[in-house]
Amino acid sequence: MTYYNLHTHDLSLSTDRKLSICNLPYKNSFTSPDAYPGVYFSAGIHPWHIASTDPMSLTSQLSRIAESPQLLAIGECGLDKLTDTPIDIQITIFKQQIEIAENSKKPMIIHCVKAFNELIKLRKETAARQEWIIHGFRGKPQLATELIQHGFRISIGHKFNPETARIIPLHRLFLETDDSNIDIETVYRQIAEIRQIPENELIISIGTNFSELFDLSR
């Protein structure tokens, strides 16, 4: 049985019993996935980092890295109204990343804070066809339901709204550890408990979701 972790910043996490998508580190440039054989990554420009980096240069690097078989998804990227960068600039950078995801046919791992209306609008406006997964979701059940109706998938970490964790359909759900020290087994245990289902059922469902969205053959 494999524990699948949709999103972590801990590069040491890929072992036999766990399969993790690690967020590829960057500052002025992205670290090369080649430096970490056998590790799966996602790469993207986080809205928090737009002001302190050169997003133009990073997006052009990103379109090259996107072709790597080790790169399973574009992100985390997205929109955050609690950060200083104006939302229209965030949208511009996010749209460039949507285009990269569409061209490379890879799903997106999305960070979204207080900008869900804008996000839903962008999904429609860009007619994006790749899957979009909201990571670290802590919102209320009503918002989760609305997002699911618009075709989004949702990933939950160790901090979540219990009612939301109960109602997300299993085939739309992912689990993650993000930047916490909690291990992924604990997150699985918490969610299985709250949904009152055997942990094995959760492991199998999330595994199926993973193989549906990501090419893990290489």
- Which chain residues interact with Zn ion by CB under 5 A? 178
9 carries a ligand binding annotation:
no
Alpha helices by DSSP H, listed for the chain, are 55-65, 87-104, 116-126, 141-149, 162-167, 184-195, 199-213
**Tally of CA atoms within 13 A in the half-sphere of 186 that contains its CB:** 8
Q: Within a 10 A sphere around the Cβ of 1, how many other Cβ atoms? A: 9
Give the whole-angstrom CA distance, residue 50 versus residue 6.
23
| Residue 135 counted as an annotated binding residue | yes
Taking the complex as a whole, how short is the minimal distance between the CB of residue 45 and Zn ion, in angstroms? 13
The distance of closest approach from Cβ of residue 46 to Zn ion in the complex, given in angstroms and rounded to an integer, is 8
The verdict on whether residue 10 carries a ligand-binding annotation is no
Distance CA 70, CA 40 (A): 5
Q: Which is nearer to Zn ion, 80 or 178 (CB)?
A: 178
Q: Residue 111 annotated as binding?
A: yes
Task: Select the residue whose beta carbon is closest to Zn ion and give its number.
Answer: 178
C-alpha span between 78 and 46 (Å, rounded): 7
Least distance in Å: CB of 200 to Zn ion? Answer: 27
- Which lies closer to Zn ion via its Cβ, residue 1 or residue 82? 82
Closest CB 208 distance from Zn ion, rounded Å? 24
Q: Which residues are annotated as a binding site for a divalent metal cation?
A: 76, 111, 135, 178
